[in-house]
Structure 1
Amino acid sequence: MEYKLLALDLDGTVFNSKKEMDHETIQAIYEFKKHGGKVVICSGRSPLSTKWVSETLRLDDPIIAYNGAVIQTADGEVLSQAAFSQRGIRTFIKACETFNVYGQLYEGNTLLVPERNKWNENWIENNIPAFALSGGNQESCERFRRNCTVKQIDSLEDYAERNTPTILKFAAFRKEEGNFQEFTRYLLGEKIEFEVSSSLDFSNLEISPAKITKGTSLNVLIDTLGIHMSEVAAIGDNFNDLDMLRLAGLGIAMGNAPSDVKAAANMVTATNDELGVAKAINTIIKA
């Protein structure tokens, strides 16, 4: 095969709209592995969530989680990790207050929230999907879920000051009465602290430490594997995949991707509900 490594986004890509993995997609991933390729999950999801997906798929390759902030082995051993500075944490929390935006912090596999609401009430179940139709083991699913925590903190600023936590990702969501556009502009201007992207066409924000993306971490990982970026194929569906799609030897956008993401890719496959990943992998194998 021309491509030795396949980098795969999850939501909107490997997952269909029901948060399941189609049988044809799973088989195509196995086929790529049979041909000697490596399959690296590259997701904004947590380390535990990506490990659960990897285990369900019976993969043995490294994983990129939190949009590049964590690189781990298939067994969950952390190979590298990038965290926010304490200044960055304070800046984000104060910006959420100033612009009246809901923000949450990710500390390892714990979600820190200032209030309980629609964006976090089912986080554990969403973080560890059951995969009832994708071969997920129910006992294993429950074990993974027990290791995820949502912790409500009355004052995130005080919590950060007292505990100096290792925060690996921020997420922000629009409130009707808030100024999400100005908030986004403000964060984009803080380049010394933040890498700003989105997995929902900028109706939310996913914020990583400065200069940390799926693409930069993929570059670090393949160097340790002795693989050149020209030998990498990457598949994704949203703005947090852009860097990865642009850097890969073959960047493939999903049919459900926004037009700007499609424009940045080398090719466009079908949607995540039309077996887009399976079709793309079959094309790669035959190339």
Structure 2
Amino acid sequence: MEYKLLAVDLDGTLFNSQKEIDRETVDALHEYKSQGGKIVICSGRSPLSTRWIAETIRLSHPIIAYNGAVIQEANGEIFEQTTFRQQGVLAFVQACEEYGVYGHLYEGDHLLVPEENDWNLSWIENNIPSLELSGGSKEACQRFRSQCKVRLAHPLHDYVSANKPDILKFAAFPKEEGNFKEFTQHLQRLTDEFEVSSSFNFTNLEISPAKTSKASALKKLASRLGLEMNEVAAIGDNFNDLHMLTSAGLGIAMGNAPEKVKERADAVTDSNDQHGVARAIRRFIVK
């Protein structure tokens, strides 16, 4: 088998637009797995969210969460984790205040928020989607949801200064009165602290610790498994997948990906509502 490891993004890739994973895609994943391939979920989602999804579709290989900040076994045992430096967390919080941007922090499987709003009110349900059509049980879903919390920490600066939490990821969203473009440019200049990407075409930001990405985590995991990157295939749909797609031996962009992502990929498959992952596996990977 040319590609012994397959890294797959979730939102916009494995998930269709209803946040479900269709049967054809699950079957294709297990077809690849039955031939000796290893499947790694590689997502910006939390460790708990990625474990819930892997358990539901019966994947048992390691998982990359928070855009590379966490590498864990399928049972939740974390064997590598990268957190922000304290000064980086404070710099992010200060920048949010200065530029009028809403930002929240991910501490383990909990969300730290400075206010309640549309970006966080349904976070637990979005973080642990029901997956009813993908085989998820209500009891298991509730078990996972009960382990997530949204914590109001206002002001964030004081909470961070007092508690020094281990933060794994930031997310930022524009406010009508803020300056999101200048905020983005400001963070992109702080390369000693931040890796800035987006899963929504830069209408939001996903910020990781410096030199942390899906690609960097995938390289570490491949090495741990005794594989070279030319033995790795990757499928993704957005800018936070771009380094992963270009680092893998075969990088496949979804049909719903932005054109700039498609241009950098080795191949393009169908969209996430047209069984794009299944068709990519059968067209390019499983011979």
Superposed pair shares fold, TM > 0.5:
yes
Displaced runs of 4 or more, over 2 A:
284-287
Deviation at 1:77, TM superposition (A): 0.2
Cα distance in structure 2, aligned partners of 1:186 and 1:154: 23
Please list, as runs of the form range in 1=range in 2, the aligned pairs for 1:1-287 lying within 5 A after superposition: 1-287=1-287
Deviation at 1:218, TM superposition (A): 0.3
Deviations along 1:133-162, whole A, 9 cap, x unmatched?
000011110000000000011111111111
Say whether the 8 Å CA contact 1:201–1:239 is kept in structure 2: yes
2:134 match: secondary structure? coil
Give the secondary structure class of the aligned counterpart of 1:133.
Answer: helix
Q: Could you tell me whether the CA contact under 8 Å between 2:124 and 2:148 is conserved in 1?
A: yes
Q: C-alpha separation between the residues in 2 aligned to 1:140 and 1:250?
A: 35
Q: Deviations over 1:38-94 (max 9, x none)?
A: 000000000000000110011110000000000000000001000000000000000
1:285 deviates by 3.9
Deviation string 1:161-199 (CA, Å, 9 cap, x unpaired) is 111100000000011111000000000000000000000
Count the aligned residue pairs: 287
* Alignment check: 8 A CA contact 1:3 1:284 kept: no
Shift of residue 283, structure 1, vs aligned partner? 1.4
Structure 2 spans left out of the alignment, 5+ residues: none
Give how far 1:286 is off: 3.9
CA distance, structure 2, for counterparts of residue 138 and residue 2 of structure 1: 39
SS of the counterpart of 2:171?
strand
Q: Report the TM-score, using the length of structure 2 for normalisation.
A: 0.99
Instruction: Give SS of 1:106's match.
Output: strand
Rounded Cα–Cα distance in structure 1 between residues aligned with 2:215 and 2:78? 18
Distance 1:231 1:83 in 2: 29
By how many angstroms is 1:242 displaced? Answer: 0.6
SS state of the match for residue 133, structure 2?
coil
What is the identity percentage for the equivalent residue pairs of Structure 1 and Structure 2? 62
SS at match of 2:274: coil
Secondary structure at the residue paired with 1:55?
helix
